[in-house]
């Protein structure tokens, strides 16, 4: 029996990178999985490749009605959602005096407001069921910081804090909420960028991580093996935050 047999999981940003790796691993471990993303071509292709226990739902995490539609589609296909992986995220590198308000707010909208809207949308179902697991993908930039990433860092610190607050609120009803903090991972977000490569060379493990190495931790948090874990930070960073 797979480690997440019987779970119904929505993975935001599931069409590529870490999200796609999560969708694959969760499916492999027995879950039914909804790949939820704005990237409909890649998302649909992945869901088709994964087969009958996978579906694509078009989701813009920043839009309330989009969450309602995606969760209704999930429930119609597989039943009530048991697990939400809030993984969708974007990055924007820019000096603090040069960044526009629009660019700053876009990062906060996707990375922070998207996580808030997702948790708010799934919690009534999880509370009714008396169980559930929410996994919020933050970053090592939700624990430390790098220059030129103020919007990203602000949004990822917010995710880490919000995770703990919501976990304290919903824990008595059987719902667990945790955050995952990847270091430099080889995905389209980091492709061709010198910063993550240079960071990886200085790590205790001396390399970038693979998306499936983050997905393995997400599977653990989605599974009942993590039944006593909540309000916690799970770092997957090759040793970065120890430096
Ligand atoms: P990626 O760029 O490869 O994939 C992100 C996915 O999110 C894409 O499929 C994209 O279409 C989707 N997305 C973007 N905006 C969206 C929206 N408004 N609604 C729904 N989906 C949307 O990124 P990657 O690397 O896979 O990152 C996944 C998560 O991991 C992000 O939250 C990122 O901040 C975080 N992370 C990544 C690290 C890395 O080194 N790659 C390091 C630390 C954290």
Catalytic residue among 104, 152, 228, 240: 152
Per the CB < 8 A criterion, the answer to whether 242 and 202 are in contact is no
How much distance in Å is there from the Cα of 198 to the middle of ligand 1? Answer: 20
Per the DSSP assignment, residues forming a β-bridge with 34 are: 10, 55
How much distance in Å is there from the Cα of 172 to the middle of ligand 1? Answer: 31
Per the DSSP assignment, residues forming a β-bridge with 177 are: 134
Burial (Cβ within 10 Å: 0-12, 13-18, ≥19) of residue 133: buried
Radius of gyration of the chain (CA): 17
Q: How far apart are the two ends of the chain, measured CA to CA in Å?
A: 39
Question: Is the pLDDT assigned to residue 182 strictly greater than 90?
Answer: yes
Rounded Cα gap, residues 235 and 162, in angstroms = 17
1 confidence band (pLDDT: 50, 70, 90): confident
Q: Whose CA is nearest to atom 24 of ligand 1?
A: 17
Which residues line the pocket of ligand 1, CB cutoff 6 A? 12-13, 15-19, 37-39, 59-62, 87-90, 110, 137, 139, 182, 184-185, 187-190, 196
pLDDT tens per residue, range 185-226: 999 999 999 999 999 999 999 999 999 999 999 999 999 999
Q: What is the pLDDT of residue 17?
A: 98
Q: CATH top-level class for 8-238?
A: alpha beta
Q: Whose CA is nearest to atom 19 of ligand 1?
A: 60
Q: Whose CA is nearest to atom 31 of ligand 1?
A: 89
pLDDT tens per residue, range 20-40: 999 999 999 999 999 999 999
User: Which of 205, 183, 204 minimizes the C-alpha distance to 195?
Assistant: 183
160's CB contacts (< 8 A; 6+ apart) are: 138, 142, 143, 179, 181, 233
pLDDT tens per residue, range 94-149: 999 999 999 999 999 999 999 999 999 999 999 999 999 999 999 999 999 999 99
> Is-catalytic flag, 228?
no
pLDDT tens per residue, range 38-80: 999 999 999 999 999 999 999 999 999 999 999 999 999 999 9
Q: What is the pLDDT of residue 79?
A: 98
Burial (Cβ within 10 Å: 0-12, 13-18, ≥19) of residue 139: buried
Q: Which atom of ligand 1 is nearest to the CA of 43?
A: 9
The overall pTM is greater than 0.85: yes
Q: What is the pLDDT of residue 86?
A: 99
How much distance in Å is there from the Cα of 110 to the middle of ligand 1? Answer: 9
User: Which of 68, 175, 57, 51 minimizes the C-alpha distance to 123?
Assistant: 175
């Amino acid at each position: 029996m797979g480690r997440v047999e019987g779970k119904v999981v929505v993975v935001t940003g599931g069409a590529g990178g870490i999200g796609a790796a999560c969708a694959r691993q969760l499916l492999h471990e027995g879950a039914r999985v909804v790949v939820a993303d704005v990237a409909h071509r890649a998302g649909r292709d992945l869901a088709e490749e994964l087969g009958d226990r996978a579906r694509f739902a078009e989701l813009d995490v920043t839009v309330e009605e989009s969450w309602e539609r995606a969760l209704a589609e999930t429930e119609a296909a597989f039943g009530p959602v048991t697990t939400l992986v809030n993984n969708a995220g974007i990055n924007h590198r820019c000096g603090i005096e040069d960044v526009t308000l629009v660019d700053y707010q876009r990062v906060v909208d996707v990375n922070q407001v998207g996580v808030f809207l997702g948790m708010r949308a799934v919690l009534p179902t999880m509370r009714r069921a008396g169980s559930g697991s929410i996994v919020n993908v933050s970053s090592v930039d939700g624990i430390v910081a790098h220059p030129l990433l103020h919007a990203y860092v602000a949004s990822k610190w917010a995710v880490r804090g919000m995770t703990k607050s919501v976990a304290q609120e919903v824990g008595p009803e059987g719902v667990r909420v945790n955050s995952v903090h990847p270091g430099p991972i080889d995905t389209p977000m980091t492709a061709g960028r010198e910063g993550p490569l240079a960071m990886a060379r200085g790590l205790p493990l001396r390399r970038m991580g693979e998306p499936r190495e983050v997905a393995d931790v997400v599977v653990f948090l989605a599974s009942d093996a993590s039944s006593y874990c909540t309000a916690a930070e799970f770092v997957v960073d090759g040793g970065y935050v120890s430096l």
